[in-house]
């Protein structure tokens, strides 16, 4: 969920709390206004905190449980458990919880939904001589909590999967060129604003076209996937690897100066050179060439950075291959 979406959710939660407060005052009278006001202030603050939290499942869960409990206290201590509005206020809490949890956590959604269901049936029990229809209404509300919670969670999962697939190359699992360009531009802007080093490198598998022409594209695709895996395992954890096109890759090394970046590129070159690329019994030797620059040397201009890195790759290709030029 983006920052704008989180802010919008926080605003809607506060507006909802205010409107719900007015409804409760209207139905229940003003005799409880002072403590209702206090509790409603609490439940207006909680969603704002929740949408600002990082992906800390425990904190999100604790705040959601507190939120549900406060709503329960408002309804239970007012003496008006027959209000038709109380189930509707549990639903946004479950929705906010489901959208705030980035990882798939069935048990967490189950726990929140069960707690909301327990509170709902307690409200029914507090009702004077509840009829069967009231209990059935409680059952419908309970099912709604589970359907909404898991529905939102599954939707979030599918949305994240779609976004992830749109950013990655289908063959290698690396960033694709479009997302790589955006990533590099954002990284260069941050590096200029915060003043830290970013090193950028182009690298290209040597003689790859002849391998494709000789052994076929299926073998070539296997070589690409293996090479991509080696490159990804050879770079620092916070580095980004992009399949720029064909057999060409772009590397974005965060907080890495050029001299350190050269060492990373040499590690990639040696790992590619020493690896036994195999496909259906065939073993192929591969090498890689690269050009590397530091963005600060080119005034953080993305076009100049890419152009200079590409020129160095061209030099590496034309001076014997299997080398890194800085």
Q: What's the pLDDT band for 21 if we cut at 50, 70, 90?
A: low
Q: Is the pTM of this model over 0.75?
A: no
Q: Which residue has the higher pLDDT, 1 or 87?
A: 87
Q: Which residue has the higher pLDDT, 288 or 90?
A: 288
Q: How far, in Å, CA of 276 to CA of 283, rounded?
A: 6
Cβ burial, residue 84 (10 Å; 0-12/13-18/19+) = exposed
Burial 162-179 (b: 16+ CB within 10 A, else e): eeeeeebbeebebbbeeb
Residue 270: the pLDDT is 96
pLDDT of 51 > 70? The answer is: no
Residue 258: the pLDDT is 92
**DSSP notation for 232-245:** HHHS-TT-EEEEEE
CATH homologous superfamily for the domain 177-325: Reverse transcriptase/Diguanylate cyclase domain (3.30.70.270)
Cβ–Cβ < 8 Å for 271, 304: no
pLDDT of 249 > 90? The answer is: yes
Q: How far, in Å, CA of 233 to CA of 271, rounded?
A: 10
What's the mean pLDDT in 119-127? 79
What's the mean pLDDT in 271-286? 90
Q: Which residue has the higher pLDDT, 312 or 93?
A: 312
What's the mean pLDDT in 58-73? 79
């Amino acid at each position: 969920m983006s920052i704008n979406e989180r802010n919008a959710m926080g605003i809607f939660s506060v507006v909802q709390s205010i409107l719900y407060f007015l409804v409760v005052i209207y139905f229940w009278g003003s005799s409880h206004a002072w403590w209702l006001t206090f509790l409603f202030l609490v439940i207006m603050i909680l969603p704002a905190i929740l949408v600002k939290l990082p992906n800390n499942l425990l904190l999100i869960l604790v705040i959601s449980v507190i939120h549900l409990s406060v709503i329960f206290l408002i309804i239970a201590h007012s003496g008006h458990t027959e209000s038709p509005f109380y189930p509707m206020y549990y639903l946004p809490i479950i929705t906010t919880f489901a959208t705030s949890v980035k990882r798939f956590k069935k048990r967490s959604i189950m726990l929140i939904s069960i707690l909301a269901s327990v509170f709902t049936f307690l409200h029914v029990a507090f009702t004077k001589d509840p009829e069967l229809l009231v209990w059935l209404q409680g059952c419908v509300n309970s099912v709604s909590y589970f359907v909404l919670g898991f529905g939102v969670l599954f939707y979030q999962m599918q949305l994240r999967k779609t976004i992830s697939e749109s950013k990655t190359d289908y063959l290698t699992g690396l960033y694709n060129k479009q997302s790589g360009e955006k990533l590099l531009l954002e990284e260069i802007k941050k590096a200029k604003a915060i003043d830290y080093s970013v090193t950028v490198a182009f690298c290209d598998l040597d003689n790859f076209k002849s391998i494709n022409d000789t052994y076929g594209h299926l073998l070539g695709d296997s070589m690409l996937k293996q090479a991509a895996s080696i490159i990804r395992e050879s770079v620092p954890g916070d580095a980004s690897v992009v399949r720029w096109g064909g057999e060409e890759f772009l590397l974005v090394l965060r907080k890495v100066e050029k001299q350190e970046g050269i060492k990373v590129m040499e590690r990639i070159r040696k790992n590619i050179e020493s690896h036994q690329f195999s496909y259906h019994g065939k073993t192929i030797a591969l090498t890689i060439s690269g050009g590397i620059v530091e963005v600060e040397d080119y005034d953080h201009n993305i076009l100049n950075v890419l152009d200079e890195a590409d020129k160095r790759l061209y030099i590496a290709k034309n001076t014997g291959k299997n080398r890194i030029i800085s």
